[in-house]
Chain A
Amino acid sequence: MEIVQLVVNGVLLGGMYALLGVGMAMIFGIVGLTNLAHGEFVIVGAYASTLLAQGMGVDPILTLCVTVPMMFLIGAGLQYALFNRAMRRGAEPALLVTFGVSIILQDALLLLFSADARHAETAYGLATVRIAGIDVSALNLVLFGISVCSVLLLSLFLSGTYAGRAIRAVSDDGRAASLSGVNVRRIYALAMGIALATAAVAGLCVGMKWTFYPSSGGRYLLIAFIVVVIGGMGSIPGTLLAGMVFGLAQVIGGANYGLLISYLLLLIVLTFRPKGLLGK
C-alpha cells in the first residue's frame, strides 16, 4: 500500500513539474531561445496570485483570471520589445538578455515584497481525501488537475488551431512558415505569451504548494530544465511523462535524495536517449 501511495503522490506532483517544463520547452523548441528567466516568471506568477488572493479574499485559483492574461501580455510584449531584437544579434546575446531579465525580476521582487517567505493559503490546504484506501492530499489533487488541464489545453491549441499549427510550423522551419503566410516574429511573441501564461499557472501551483521567496526562481528554472531535457524538446507527451518521472524521483528520494536521483536520471537520459524519452 505504501508503494501505491508513493506512486500516486509522485504522479500528482509530476503534473506540476510537467507544467513547469512545458513553458520552457515551448520557448526552447519554437523561439530557439534558452529562457533563463523562466523561473522568475513562475515566481512573479506566484506573487501575483498570492497577493491578489490575499487582497481580495478569494481562493487563489480564481486569480488565474487576472494573472494568466496579464502574464500573456507581459510575455508577448517582452518578446516584441526585447527578445526579438536581441535574437537578431545571435543566440548568445539573447541568452544574456534573458539572464539579465531574471536578475532584474529577482531584485524587483525583493525591493517590492521584501525577502519574507510567502504562501498562498487555501481552505483545503491540509485536507486529505481517501480514495480506494489511499490518503491523497486534496491540494495535490487540485494542483494536479489544474496542471494537467493546462497542459492538455495547450496541446489541443497546438494541434487544432491555425495559430497552434503556425507555432509548430515555425519550430519546424521558420522560412517555410513565412512562405506559407506566417509572420514569424508575431508567432514568437504569441509563443512567449503562452509560455508566460503557463508560468502564471505554474506560479499559482508553486505558491499554493510551497513557500517561496524572491530568490526561488532558480530552483524552478532547474526543475523546468530537467523536465525539458528528460522529456525531449517540443514533445508535450514527453514533457508530461518527464514530469511524472521527476515527480516520482522526488517522492522516492525524499528531501535528502530527491534531487540526487533526479540528476542521476538526467545523466542516464542524456547518455542513452539524448533527445529525450519521447524525442525523435
Chain B
Amino acid sequence: MHDALLSIEGLTVCYGDFPAVSSASLSVAAEGVSALIGANGAGKTTLLEAAAGLHRPKAGKIFFQGEDITGLPPEEIVRRGLCLVPQGGRCFPRMSVEDNLLMGSYSPRGRKNARQSLERVYALFPALMQKRKAPAGSLSGGQRQMTAIGRAFMADPKCILFDEISLGLAPVVIHDLYERIQTVNAEEKTAILLVEQDTEKALVLSDTCFVMLKGSVTLSGPSGKLRPEDIRSAYFGI
C-alpha cells in the first residue's frame, strides 16, 4: 500500500442515512491504468467524487502521494494533482472551448505551463483546435467530452479519475477517446482510474481492475488474470 499513488481505505460515504459507499478500499499505482466496474448504484461515482473532495466521508481515509487528503475541499485536491473528469464532462457551456481548457490550468501547478499544455491538448484533439472559439455548449457530445478531458490534462495532474466518459457516445468516438487517454498515460506517466460500464473494455484498457458491489470493493487484481466467473460473482453478488 505504501507505494500507491492514491489509496482509499475503508471509505464510507452516506447520502442522509443511506450508505452509497461502505468501507470500500482500493489503491491506484503511480503511472498505471486502473478500472473500476460494477452495476448501477454500486457506488462507483460516489467513490470517485469523494476522492475528488465533493463528498465528506463518514469514515475511512483517502491518501494521495502519502498525504491524508480526507475531507479537503475539491480545489485543494486539484492543487495536489488529483483531477476528476465528472460524469457527462460538465463543461462550462457558455464559455469558449479555449476558456474551458484554460480553466483547467487554474491551479498553480497547471498555470506554470498553461501555454504548452494548451498546445499539447490541441495536438491530442485537433477537433478542439478548430472549435476553440466556439462555446462549449454548442459542441457535439464527443467534443464536449474531449474538452472535459483536455481540461483535466491542463491541470498537469499526477492522477486523473474518469467517470464513465463513454456515456451516450458512439463506439467509434469512445474508442478514439480511450486511445488518447492511453497516449497521455504512456507519455506523461499520468495515473488513471476509470469507471466504465463496458466490462470487457475496462479489462482490456487497464492493468488493475476493481469490482464494486453495494458500496464495497468485492474483487481486485491484475486485469489480465481475473477469472470471468470471479468477476461475475463479484459484480452480481451471486
Contacts and interface: CB of A to CB of B under 8 A. Distances in A.
Interface of A: 159, 162, 165-166, 168-169, 171-173, 175-183, 234, 280
A173 B75 contact: no
A176 B75 CA distance: 10
Q: Residue among B83, B84, B94, B155 with the most chain A CB within 10 A? A: B94
Contacts of A181: 74-75, 78-79, 106-107, 110, 155
Query: What are the nearest 9 A-B pairs in CB distance?
Result: A181-B107, A172-B92, A176-B90, A181-B78, A178-B74, A181-B106, A180-B103, A181-B75, A183-B75
A25 to B, nearest CB: 14
16 contacts: A165-B103, A168-B95, A169-B103, A173-B90, A173-B91, A175-B54, A178-B54, A180-B103, A180-B104, A180-B155, A181-B78, A181-B106, A181-B107, A181-B110, A182-B75, A183-B73
B24 interface: no
A180 B74 CA distance: 8
Contacts of B111: 162
A175 B90 contact: yes
A173 B136 CA distance: 12
Interface in B63-112: 73-75, 78-79, 83-84, 86, 90-95, 99, 102-104, 106-107, 110-111
Nearest to B96: A159
Contact of B78 (A166, A179, A280): A179
Nearest to B114: A162
Interface residues of B, number: 27
A70 B167 CA distance: 49
Nearest to B79: A181
A166 B92 contact: no
B92 A168 contact: yes
Given A165-B95, A165-B99, A168-B99, A179 B86 contact: yes
A164 B229 CA distance: 53
Nearest to A171: B94
